[in-house]
Amino acid sequence: MGTHVFLLTDFLFKFLVIGNAGTGKSCLLHQFIEKEFKEDSNHTIGVEFGSKIINVGGKHVKLQIWDTAGQERFRSVTRSYYRGAAGALLVYDITSRETYNALTNWLTDARMLASQNIVIILCGNKKDLDADREVTFLEASRFAQENELMFLETSALTGENVEEAFVQCARKILNKIESGELDPERMGSGIQYGDAALRHLRSPRRAQAQSVQECGC
Amino acid sequence: MPVRCHVKSLQICDQVTGGVLAMQKIKSLMTRQGPKSPQDSIHDLSPVENFRIPSKEELRDLREQATDPQAEQELINSIEEIYFSNDSFDVVQYELEKLPPVLSLQEMEEYRDRLKRQQAAVSKKVADLILEKQPSYVKELERVTSLQTSLQLAAVICTNGRRHLNAAKEGFTQASLGLLANQRKRQLLIGLLKSLRTIKTLQRTDVRLSEMLEEEDYPGAIQLCLECQKAASTFKHYSCISELNSKLQDTLEQIEEQLDVALSKICKNFDVAHYTKVQQAYRLLGKTQTAMDQLHMHFTQAIHNTVFQVVLGYVELCAGNTDTKFQKLPYKDLCMHITSESYIPCLTDLCKALWEVMLSYFRTMDWHEKHDQEEVPSSSDSNNVPATENNFDRSYIKKKLEHGLTRIWQEVQLKVKTYLLGTDMSNFKYDDFIFVLDIISRLMQVGEEFCGSKSEVLQESIRKQSVNYFKNYHRTRLEELRMFLENETWELCPVKSSFSILQLHEFKCLGQSRSPSMSPSKQVSSADSASLSLFDQYSSGGNPFEIQAAMKDDETEDVLASNGYESDEPEKSAYQEYDSDSDVPEELKGDYIDEQTGDAPTKSVSRETLRSRKRSDYNLNKVNATILTNTTLNVIRLVGKYMQMMTILKPIAFDVIHCMSQLFDYYLYAVYTFFGRNDAHESSGLGLSSSRLRTTLNRIQESLIDLEVNGENPGSLASSEEKKQKVPSPHLSQLVILTSSNTLFGLAERVVATESLVFLAEQFEFLQTHLDSVMPAAKKPFLQQFYSQTVSTASEIRKPIYWIVAAKAIEYEQTLLIMGNVKWDVKEIMSQHNVYVDSLLKEFEQFNKKLSELTKHVRIPLPVSNILWEHCIRLANRTLVEGYANVKKCSNEGRALMQLDFQQFLMKLEKLTDIRPIPDKEYVETYIKAYYLTENDMERWIKEHREYSTKQLANLVNVCLGSHINKKARQKLLSAIDDLDRPKR
C-alpha cells in the first residue's frame, strides 16, 4: 500500500438508502464500503453516512450515501436527507412480506421529497435466506417494472449484487446526465461536479494553481 | 674364604716356631685378598676339618699382651719383611740361618719372646678381623647354600630336558610339528578375529550413531561416539583404525552440527525433553558455554527468520504469483510490500510468532533455573562429563540468559518497528487501527513481563503512526462533520428522555468501569488474569495474540449488539427499550401507533406492537426531553471514539484532545454562522455577543476555518500544510428556511441547533474530569482554557441567535409608525389608551401563539422561551422609548397618557408571559417620568442615565421646553448632553 492515491472524482452523487427497519440497509452499505458483513447489526439512529469512490464507465464517481433509519420515529429526521438525492436504494427483505408491502409508501415519499428524477433501484435483500422467502423474484420485478425501478436481489451477507446495485444506479444517473435528461448544474439535483471535473470546467486558473501545489509534494 | 685362610694361618701359629710361619702366611693372604676367585678359595680351603679355633687361653693371652693398638701396630711393623714376602719360603730354615754363630741363650730367649709377641699381635689382629667379618660371612654362606640348591635344580631340569630331547629325538615326526605350528597360528588368529569383530562393531556404530541422531538421542550418540573413540584407541595398531578414528571424529563433528540445529529448534518451540537432551549432549561434549553463546545467536536468527518468513508469506500471498524476487528483498523493503488488507493478519501472525520465540526463551530460562540447581551437586559423580564442565560456572548461564532478555526484546521491538512503519496506516479503518494499537499494547505488556522494558522503540513508532493516523483521521472526520452540518436540517433526533452518552457504545468503557486508564481489551485481560503474567498464563499453550483476535470479535459484537433486538445492551435502552411505562400517562400511550406499520421484522412484531403502545417516551413535549440532532450524535460518537484513542494512545492524548476540541469548535462555529451571525446587529454595537463569545469565535475562525475555499483567491497560497488543518466554513442546508415569519424565522431549527450545542457543551463538561485525568500535566492549561473560553460560552450563543428571532417576530417598526400619529399635547387626562398599545400587544399575542404552536414540535426549554420573551419585551420597550423620544410636543396630560399606555401594555403583557419582572420596565417608566424633573434635577438625571441615546435625551429636554424648562436651561442641558456624548465616543 504505502502511497494511497487520492482519486480525482468527476462527479459526486448524493445517494439514499431507504426501506423498512430491519431490511439490512446499514449492512448493505457496510458491505459496499468495507467489503464485509456486519454481524448482528443494530438499528440505525437517525442517519448515518458513508462514502466511496467508484468507477463507472471510466468516470470516477464519489457516492455520498446517507443511510437512513428505517424506524418510523426517525422519519422526520430522515426525511430531511431526501432532498437533493440523485439516487436511492429502496430496500426490502425477501423474507418479510411486510417490508415489501411498505414499498409503495417509501416510493411515494422518495419521489415527493427527493426529486421527480431520482433514480431508484429496488433491492430485495437477504437473498441468502432463500428458504424463508416470502416475496418471489417475479412479483418484485413486476412491481419494479410498473414503477420504473431497477431491480436486483442482493445479499449483504454474501455480498452478492451489493456493489452492482450501487454501480447500476450510478450508471443510470450518468447516462441521464449524458443524455441531458439530468442537469448537474440544477440546484437540488443531488449531483455535483467532482474536483477533477471542477478543475476543468469551472476554474481553469484554480486548477493550475492546485496542480502546481501538488507537484511540490 | 679369606677367613679360612686366616684360620689356616692360625693353625700354624700354634706352634712356637710356627708363629713366624703363620705371620708370613697371613701377610701373604692379606696382600692377596680380592683378586682371588671364590672357586679357587673353595678349592684351597675346602677341608673344613683344618679349621681350629684357638684356645681361650691363647686368645686371652693375646688380648692381655697387646691392648694398645698403637703398640700392636708397631709390633706388627717390626716383623721382618721377609715374613710377608713369599709363600714358599721356609721360616724355620730362615730363622735358623739367621742365628749367630755363637748362640747365647739369653739372646735366643729374647729373640724367642720377641717372636712370640709378634705372633700374639698377629693372632689378635687376625681374630679381630675374623670377628669383624663374621656377619658377612654368615650372609655369604646362605647365598652359597641357595646357589647350591639352584644349581642342583638346574641340574635336574637339564637332566630332564636331555631325557625329553632324547625321547623327542626318538618319537617326533614332521607332521606333528606342523600341527603344533598350526595350533599356534590358530590361537593368534582367534585373537585377531576378536579384535576384528570389535573393530567391525566399531565400524557399525556409525550406522547406529546416525540412527540415534535421527531419533534425536544426542547424549546417547555422543556417549557412544566417545566410547567408540576410546575403544578405537586400544586398537590403534591396526591401520584401519586411523581411518575409523577420523571417521568417528567426523561423526562427532557432525553430531555437533546436528546438535546445533537441534538447539536452534528450541527457539521456536521449546520442548523440555528435547532441550534436556540437547543440554545433556553439550555437557557430554563439555561445551555448555559454547551452547549458551550459540543459543543467543540462534534466538536472534530465529527472530529474524520468523518475521521474514511471516511477512514474506503474506507478501507472496497478496502478490498472487510465485515470483521469487521477494525472497531476496531485505526485510525492511519486504515490509513495504504488505498490503493494507493483509496488514493486520500479518501483524497478528508476526506477534504470535515472536511470542513463540520469546516464550521459548522464557522457558529456556525456566529450564535452567530448575535444572542447573539440581545438576550442580550431581555433576561430580558423572565421570563421563569432561573436567571443563565440572569447573564451568553455572552462574555464567544465568547471567548470559538474563542479559539476553533485553537484547532479544530489543531485537523483537526493532523488527516490529520496521513492520509498523513500513505501511502508511493513515487510511486504515478506525477499528482496524485501534486493533493494531491493541496488539502493540499487548506486545508491550509482553515486553514488560519479559524484561521489564518500557518498550521505548515500540512506543515511539506507535506514536509516530498514531499521530500520522490521527491527523488524517481527524481531517476526514472534520470534513465529514462539515458534510453532516451541511445536510443537517436541525430536526430533533428522538431519544429517550433518560438518554445519556454513557449508553452509547463509544462510551461504554467510561460508563462501566470509570477507569480511564484502561483500554477495553486490557480490562478484559486484567480482569481474568490480574495476578497471572502472560508467560505463566500461556506457557503451556495458546497465544496471547490469539485471544486478541477473539477479543476483537467480542468487541465488535458488543458494538453491533448494542442496538439489536434481543440484546440488553444499554444503548438499546436509550432508543428501544421501554423499561417502565408507569411514568407515562395513559393518554399518551397511543402516540406512536404508526411504529408497527411493518417497520419491524416479522419475528418480533408482537413485541414491537407491545412496545409501540409505550412509545410516548419520545414525546417531544416532555419537559426534559433531550434536544439533540443527528449531527450532535455524530459529534458525541466521535468524541467517544477520540477518547478511546486517547486511552490507548496516552502519548498523543494531547493531540487527540486538541482535535476533540476542534470538533466542538466547529459545531459551535457552524451553529453561530448558521443562526447567530447578523452583521447588522454586530455593527449596531448592541453587544449581543459577549466579548468572550466574540473572542472564541474569532479564535475558531482563525485557527480552524479555511476562508479561502469559497473566495476565488488563489493568489494567496497559505502553506498547504496549514491549509490541511483547516476546514471550509459550512453552509446551512437549503432545506432550512429562516425567513418565514410563520415558523418564527426557523425558531424550531434555531432551538434544536442552539440547544443541541448546549447539550453538547454539557456532555463536554461531563467529560471534563475524565479528560483532565488523561491530559499530561504540562498541557492541562490548554484544557482549562478550552473549557473556560469555549465550552462555557456555548449557552451565550443563545443570546444573538434568539435575538434575531425576537427582532423579527414583533413588528416594532409598525408600532413606531403608529406612535408617530399620536397627539401628545392633549389638554385633558385621557382614560383610553392609544391604539399602538393594542397593535403591539396583538403582535405579542401572535408571537405567543406561534410559540406554543411550535412547542408541539420542539420542546422549547424554559431558559429559551425566557430569553425570547425577554428579548421581545426589551425590544418593545426600546421601541416605546424611541417612540416617546420622537414626540415633538408633549403636555403634562400627554405624559400621563404615556404612562397610561405603558400601564395598559404591562398589564396585558403580564397575562401573556410568566417572565417577572418585566425587563426594561424601569427603562420606559424612568424616561417618561424624567419629563417632570426640574432643571437641576434633570441635569443630574441626564448625567446618571447614560442608557438613553443623545437623541432621546435631547428630545426630552426639547419637549420640556415651554412647560417648566426655559430656553436658557435648555441650552445648558443640551450642552451637558453634548459633554456626555464626547467622552463616550
B426 contact residues in A (CB cutoff 8 A): 4
A72 CB neighbours in chain B (<8 A) are: 592, 594-595, 597, 599
ipTM: 0.78
Distance from CA of A173 to the nearest CA of B (A): 21
Give the whole-angstrom CA distance, residue B12 versus residue A32: 153
Chain A touched by B427 (CB under 8 Å): yes
User: Which residues in chain B touch residue A97, judged by CB atoms under 8 angstroms apart?
Assistant: 602
Specify the pLDDT at position B964: 74
- Residue B594: list chain A partners with CB under 8 A: 72
The cell 385633558 sits on which residue? B828
The secondary structure element, H or E, covering residue A125 is strand A119-125
Distance from CA of B647 to the nearest CA of A (A): 25
Instruction: List phi, psi (to 5°) of A60.
Output: -90, 120
Residues of B whose CB is below 8 A from A96: 598, 601-602
B18-32 vs B91-98: helix crossing angle, rounded to 10: 120
Count of Cβ atoms closer than 10 Å to residue B186 Cβ: 10
Average pLDDT by stretches of 10, chain B with 985 residues: 44 44 53 47 44 55 61 80 74 79 83 86 88 91 94 95 86 80 93 87 81 83 84 80 82 85 84 86 84 87 89 85 76 86 89 89 86 56 56 76 88 91 84 84 87 87 86 89 90 81 77 41 42 72 66 38 34 40 36 37 41 40 72 91 80 88 94 80 57 89 79 48 77 85 87 92 92 86 91 89 87 89 85 90 91 86 88 91 88 88 92 88 90 85 86 86 79 84 58
Shortest distance between the Cα of B543 and any Cα of chain A, in A, equals: 25
Amino acid making up residue B754: T
Closest CB to A80: pick one of B491, B592, B605: B491
A66 contact residues in B (CB cutoff 8 A)? 487
Q: Find the residue in B nearest to A213 (Cα).
A: B720
**Residue A2: is its pLDDT beyond 60?**
no
- Please tell me the predicted confidence (pLDDT) of residue B481: 93
Q: How far apart are CA B616 and CA B441, in angstroms?
A: 46
Q: Which residue of A has its CA nearest to B315?
A: A1
Kindly state whether B735 is in contact with chain A, defined as any CB-CB distance less than 8 angstroms: yes
Query: Is some CB atom of chain A closer than 8 A to the CB atom of B828?
Result: no
B319, closest residue in chain A (CA to CA) = A1
Q: How close does chain B come to A209, measured CA to CA in Å?
A: 7
Mean pLDDT score of chain A: 84
Q: CA of B856, closest CA in chain A: separation in Å?
A: 14
Which among B487, B560, B634 has the least Cβ separation from residue A81? B487
Q: Comparing C-alpha atoms, which of B177, B153, B157, B266 is closest to residue B218?
A: B266
Q: For an interface test with B, which of A9, A29, A35, A43 has the most B Cβ atoms less than 10 Å from its Cβ?
A: A43
Helix spans in chain A (H) = 25-34, 75-79, 97-101, 103-113, 137-146, 162-178, 195-201, 204-215
How far, in Å, CA of A152 to CA of A165, rounded? 7
Cell triple for B894: 400627554
Question: Do the chains contact at A42 and B561, CB–CB below 8 Å?
Answer: yes
Residues of B in Cβ contact (< 8 Å) with A74: 493-494
Contact A77 B633 (CB under 8 A): no
Within 8 A of B492 by CB-CB distance, chain A residues are 76-77
Min Cα–Cα distance to chain A from B338, Å? 7
Interface of B with A in 519-538 (CB under 8 A): none
Question: What are the phi and psi torsion angles at B518 (to 5°)?
Answer: -110, 140
Facing A34 at nearest CB: one of B429, B605, B712: B429
Among candidates B424, B597, B720 on the partner chain, residue whose Cβ is nearest the Cβ of A1 = B424
Among B599, B608, B713, B717, most A C-beta atoms within 10 A, so best to mutate, is B599
pLDDT given at position B47? 44
Please tell me which residue of chain B has the smallest CA distance to A23: B601
Neighbours of B519 (CB within 10 A): 19
pLDDT score for B670: 94
Helix (H) or strand (E) holding B471: helix B456-487
Are B494 and A73 within 8 A, CB to CB?
yes
CA–CA min distance B304, chain A (Å): 23
Give A112 to chain B, closest Cα distance, Å. 14
The reply to whether residue B560 touches residue A40, judged by beta carbons under 8 angstroms, is: yes
Whether chain A has a CB inside 8 Å of the CB on B105: the answer is no
Contacts of B495 in chain A (CB under 8 A): 45
Inter-chain residue contact B493 with A77, CB threshold 8 Å = yes
- Report d(CA A28, CA A166) in Å as an integer: 10
Residues in chain A: 217
The predicted structure's pLDDT at residue B593: 33
Q: What is the pLDDT of residue B94?
A: 80
Q: What is the structure's pLDDT at B716?
A: 46
Return the pLDDT at B59.
55
User: Is A22–B600 a contact, with Cβ atoms under 8 angstroms apart?
Assistant: yes
Closest-CA distance of chain A to residue B408, Å: 28
- The answer to whether the Cβ–Cβ distance between A20 and B560 falls below 8 Å is no
Nearest to B52 by CA among B18, B4, B15: B4
List of residues 6+ apart from B336 with CB closer than 8 A: A2, B422, B423
Q: Among B527, B543, B532, B614, which Cα is nearest to B578's? A: B614
Q: Name residues whose C-beta falls within 8 Å of residue B767's C-beta, 6 or more positions apart in sequence.
A: B510, B639, B643
**Is B597 in a helix, a strand, or coil?**
coil
Between positions 602 and 621 of B, the ones with CB within 8 A of A are 602, 605, 615, 618
Candidates B570, B675, B583, B597; CA nearest to B629 is: B675
Residues contacting B268, CB < 8 A, separation 6+: B302, B306, B356, B357, B360
**Confidence bin at A134 (pLDDT 50/70/90):** very high
Residue A80 has pLDDT above 70, yes or no: yes
Of A45, A66, A80, the CB nearest to B735: A80
Name the residue of chain A whose CA is nearest to B720's CA.
A213
CB contacts of B595 in chain A (<8 Å) are 71-73
Please say whether the beta carbons of B347 and B435 come within 8 A.
no
Q: Does B892 touch chain A (CB under 8 A)?
A: no
Inter-chain CB proximity B630 and A47 less than 8 Å = yes
CA–CA dist B361, B504 (Å, integer): 44
For A1, the closest chain B residue by CA position comes to B339
Q: Tally A–B CB contacts below 8 A.
A: 126
pTM of the model: 0.65
- Does B601 sit behind a cis peptide bond, omega within 30 degrees of 0 on the bond before it? no
